[in-house]
């Protein structure tokens, strides 16, 4: 324990807040009526989607880069990022007059690439490399070493952690009565910064970490008691899709985070859509993580003052159809079947009139194969009005002798066909 405190003794988010006061925006902490009513508690949203680069990442990036010495600034900086850290570094480079080279994974949303270019405004170069963050980071580290430039880590760095912790400084200034803080975990920089500051100055406040189910690197690290590289990674929640949590971050989080939870990606999509439709808040998937977790923490947080950190709002509008689809699948409102219709006249009409309810809808219909003599099975997508109607759909297909196979329950078949 002595080594732990000695190792992290230099982290001072109050000092970082002073360093950042003329650079970052002090984002609002808003009471949310509909979430408070829904979960019988007081829910406040810390709106880092309102930040200058539309995420908290500017805090750590500027805090780190601004403290480089003159020789290091002259050499320039390199970073690797799925998008938000890239924008923070780009803005910092432009603000400080420093050259930057930014590596981004190939699948990064176009919106984040464009925004990074805009914030850098001639001060940075973007290189797309690798399919995952970890592949991208390896390339960036090699480039920094080859060109004698300074690598700016996205999360595994004391000054980065210190800068991200200024989110917690603002929360406690804005709402001193805060009882619970929900913080997203990707690589762990924000979670480490928030939990370190809170437990040092407000130990009675509970800190809960939230991860996407398909990218639970902190969950895996806790299980193995050390940073552990995930073999499979769901990249949908791109701002939190990291294969290995930072070693510094893990040491802080395991000591200072009170509880952590995994949230399905589909639930994140549902919460993202609700934030947009009910509150006109444009959050990215990682930004909606903490709000999505409220459904699984209701008993734990009931009656308390709860702050959800909305970590960013860099969402690509082109992803909205995918977000809606994943939400409907998670909520049990979208189902796919392979249906072999009876070879008799009116079979399709019978399916529509007798199997589906009056407010259900066919969203996809295509024959998988056919011969000269007869049509083969069809892929049928159905959107239900109510999830509880699903068993009745299956019952009616059985009664009317429709030969069918459910696709949702077969992950291999689903990925192949849908």
Active-site annotation, residues: 57, 311
Q: What is the mean pLDDT of residues 273-291?
A: 96
**Residue 249: its pLDDT value, please?**
97
User: Same CATH fold, 57-157 and 2-56+159-324?
Assistant: yes
What pTM does this model have? 0.91
Contacts of 314 (CB under 8 A, 6+ apart): 54, 55, 83, 84, 87, 109, 111, 112, 115, 239, 284
Write down the architecture of domain 332-417 according to CATH. Answer: 2-Layer Sandwich (3.30)
**Domain ranges for the chain:** 2-56+159-324, 57-157, 332-417
In this predicted structure, the answer to whether residue 381 has a pLDDT above a threshold of 90 is: yes
What is the CATH code of the structural domain delimited by 57-157?
3.40.50.1100
Contact 156, 85 (CB under 8 A): no
Contact 123, 90 (CB under 8 A): yes
> What's the pLDDT band for 79 if we cut at 50, 70, 90?
very high
> What's the pLDDT band for 342 if we cut at 50, 70, 90?
confident
**Residue 252: its pLDDT value, please?**
97
Query: Can you tell me the distance from the alpha carbon of 260 to that of 148, in angstroms, rounded to the nearest whole number?
Result: 39
Q: What is the mean pLDDT of residues 352-357?
A: 90
**Residue 232: its pLDDT value, please?**
92
**Residue 375: its pLDDT value, please?**
65
Q: Identify the CATH assignment for 2-56+159-324 out of 3.30.1230.10, 3.40.50.1100, 3.40.50.460, 3.40.50.150.
A: 3.40.50.1100
Query: Can you tell me the distance from the alpha carbon of 147 to that of 11, in angstroms, rounded to the nearest whole number?
Result: 29
Q: What is the mean pLDDT of residues 6-29?
A: 94
What is the distance of C-alpha 125 from the center of its chain?
A: 25
> Of 298, 221, 308, which Cα lies nearest the Cα of 272?
308
* Strand-pair category, 29-31 with 100-104: unpaired
> What's the pLDDT band for 346 if we cut at 50, 70, 90?
confident
> Of 63, 123, 114, 112, which Cα lies nearest the Cα of 90?
123
């Amino acid at each position: 324990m002595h080594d732990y405190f000695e190792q992290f003794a230099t982290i001072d988010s109050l000092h970082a807040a002073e360093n950042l006061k003329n650079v970052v925006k002090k984002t609002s902490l808003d009471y949310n009526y509909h979430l408070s009513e829904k979960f019988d508690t007081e829910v406040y949203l810390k709106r880092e989607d309102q930040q200058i680069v539309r995420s908290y990442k500017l805090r750590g990036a500027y805090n780190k880069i601004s403290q480089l010495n003159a020789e290091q600034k002259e050499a320039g900086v390199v970073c690797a990022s799925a998008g938000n850290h890239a924008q923070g570094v780009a803005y910092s480079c432009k603000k400080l007059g420093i050259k930057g080279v930014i590596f981004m994974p190939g699948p990064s949303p176009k919106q984040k690439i464009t925004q990074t270019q805009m914030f850098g405004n001639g001060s940075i170069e973007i290189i797309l490399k690798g399919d995952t963050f970890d592949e991208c980071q390896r390339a960036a580290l090699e480039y920094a070493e080859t060109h004698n430039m300074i690598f700016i880590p996205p999360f595994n760095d004391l000054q980065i952690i210190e800068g991200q912790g200024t989110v917690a400084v603002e929360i406690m200034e804005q709402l001193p009565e805060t009882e619970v803080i929900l913080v997203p975990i990707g690589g762990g920089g924000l979670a480490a910064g928030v939990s370190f500051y809170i437990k040092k100055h407000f130990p009675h406040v509970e800190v809960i970490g939230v991860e996407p189910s398909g990218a639970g690197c902190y969950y895996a690290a806790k299980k193995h008691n050390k940073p552990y590289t995930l073999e499979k990674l769901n990249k949908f929640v791109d701002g939190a899709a990291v294969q290995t949590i930072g070693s510094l971050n893990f040491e802080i989080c395991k000591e200072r985070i009170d509880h952590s939870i995994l949230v399905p990606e589909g639930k994140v999509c549902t919460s993202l859509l609700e934030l947009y439709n009910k509150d006109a808040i444009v959050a990215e998937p990682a930004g909606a993580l903490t709000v999505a977790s409220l459904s699984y923490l209701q008993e734990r947080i009931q009656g308390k003052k709860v702050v959800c950190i909305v970590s960013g709002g860099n969402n690509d509008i082109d992803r909205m159809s995918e977000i809606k689809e994943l939400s409907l699948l998670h909520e049990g409102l979208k189902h796919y079947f392979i249906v072999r219709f009876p070879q008799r006249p009116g079979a399709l009409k019978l399916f529509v009139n007798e199997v589906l309810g009056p407010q259900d809808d066919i969203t996809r219909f295509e024959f998988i194969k056919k011969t000269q003599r007869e049509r083969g099975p069809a892929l049928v997508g159905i959107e239900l009005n109510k999830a509880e109607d699903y068993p009745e759909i299956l019952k009616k297909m059985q009664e009317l002798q429709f030969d069918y196979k459910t696709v949702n329950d077969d992950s291999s078949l689903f990925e192949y066909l849908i």
